[in-house]
Structure 1
Amino acid sequence: MRLLRYDDLPVTPWKNGGGLTREIAVHLDREIHPEFLWRISMATVAGPGPFSQFEGIDRTIAVLQGNGILLNSNGSEITLGHDSAPYSFSGETPIEATVIAGETTDLNVMTRRGYFTHIMKRHVIRQSAAIDVECDDMILVFEGRVMARVGQDHFPAAPMDTLTGIRRGDRVDLSPEEETVIYTIELSGMTVGNVQPQGA
């Protein structure tokens, strides 16, 4: 289990100059597929442009910071703001994105269809809470300061930090300093591979 600090995540500028990606964790198994089986990242978007299309991938995004983003697909528009529920879509879907104002930072989850599934949930926590993990892997992303405890291990999370390596059967106790939002990412699949968080 590991707490990843936001400032320590590796930053990759986009080729088109429209944003930055910070990779949180990736699941690789080259014997099963030459590319990732699942991937979690944060993207800071500074300007308009198309989403990259990923064949055979299921995606979910949520807005962590900023005024939000407008998604246009085949004439339909969806506005995602800080208070919006996570939005799921197929990686093949053509989407044009426009930042509402300034920059926006999104949380992105991608799983390879037929190998893994995922569920991202947004939770507002105002007092101590507990999560009993029933999926293969769970990752928590924090918007505020929260003390997370798993067994005897304590993880003092700051805004935009991520807790990785949570497994089925674990119980996560959460104590926020004040009302805040956390995102749970549940990952389940038929394969077993290696989770490779940043710095591993």
Structure 2
Amino acid sequence: MTGPSRVLKPEVFPAVAWRNGAGLTRELVDDPSGWRLSVAELESDAVFSAFPGLDRIFLPLVDVVLEIDTVRRPVARGTAVAFPGEAKVAVELVAGPGRAVNLMMARGRCSGRLVARSPGEWEQCGPDRPGWVVDLGEVLVEVQVGSDEWR
């Protein structure tokens, strides 16, 4: 993607149930080139839906513990974690309810990254950079997605 950042505000998108019914999400982008961006409402501990063939990046806005294929891992707020969509994943909300940004990409077709920034950091970095930005108020999440050759 080229050109200035596109700013997305999750509150203007409808909330829909997760595929497994364990939570709610707001789908911000479903791009035909093979990637999807959403913001999940994390209300309680939950098991993630499986998405075989996709690579996932999960960026929580609260401290959590992720269990990925039986390995428990503390994840600090604003830290992105990547894992395959077919992994067995559960989230434990150690700091209470919150939100998380999810980026899902078709394996072999595209890759991406998520970076959490304060509004001040975002302004210093240059808001005219290409990509997407999820505006969550106190945190902006920079989203970069491209073909696998992009890496």
TM-score under structure 2 normalisation?
Answer: 0.78
Give the Å deviation of 1:3: 4.3
1:27 pairs with 2:31: yes
* Aligned match of 1:185: 143
2-structure distance, mates of 1:118, 1:185: 7
Measured against aligned partners, the alpha-carbon deviations of 1:54-77 in whole angstroms (never above 9, x if no partner) come to 11111111113xx43211123321
Aligned residue for 2:11, secondary structure, equals helix
- State the match for 1:57 in structure 2: 54
Distance 1:16 1:38 in 2: 20
Larger Rg: 1
Q: Which runs of 5+ in 2 are unaligned?
A: none
Give the C-alpha shift of residue 17 in structure 1: 4.8
Matches of 1:78 and 1:51, distance apart in 2: 15
SS at match of 2:131: strand
Q: CA deviation at 1:7?
A: 2.2
Question: What is the TM-score when the length of structure 1 is the normalising length?
Answer: 0.61
Task: Measure the CA separation in 1 of the matches of 2:70 and 2:35.
Answer: 29
Aligned to 1:45: 42
May I ask how many residue pairs the two structures share in their alignment? Answer: 142
* Structure with the larger helix share: 2
Q: Note the alpha carbon deviations across 1:114-173, whole angstroms, 9 max, x for none.
A: 11111112234536421564xxx6111234xxxxxxxxxxxxxxx2xxxxxxxxxxxxxx
Q: 2:18 aligns with which of 14, 18, 21?
A: 14
Unmatched 5+ stretches in structure 1? 30-36, 144-158, 160-179, 191-200
Cα RMSD, aligned residues only? 2.5
The structural deviation recorded for 1:21 is: 0.6
**2: CA distance, partners of 1:131 / 1:2:** 9
Contact 1:18–1:45 (CA<8 Å) still a contact in 2?
A: no
Judged with a 3 Å threshold, the aligned counterparts in structure 2 of structure 1 residues 182 and 7 are, in CA distance, closer, same or farther, namely closer
**CA-CA distance at 1:94 after TM superposition:** 1.0
Matches within 5 A, 1:146-157: none
Q: Determine which structure has the larger strand proportion and give its number.
A: 1
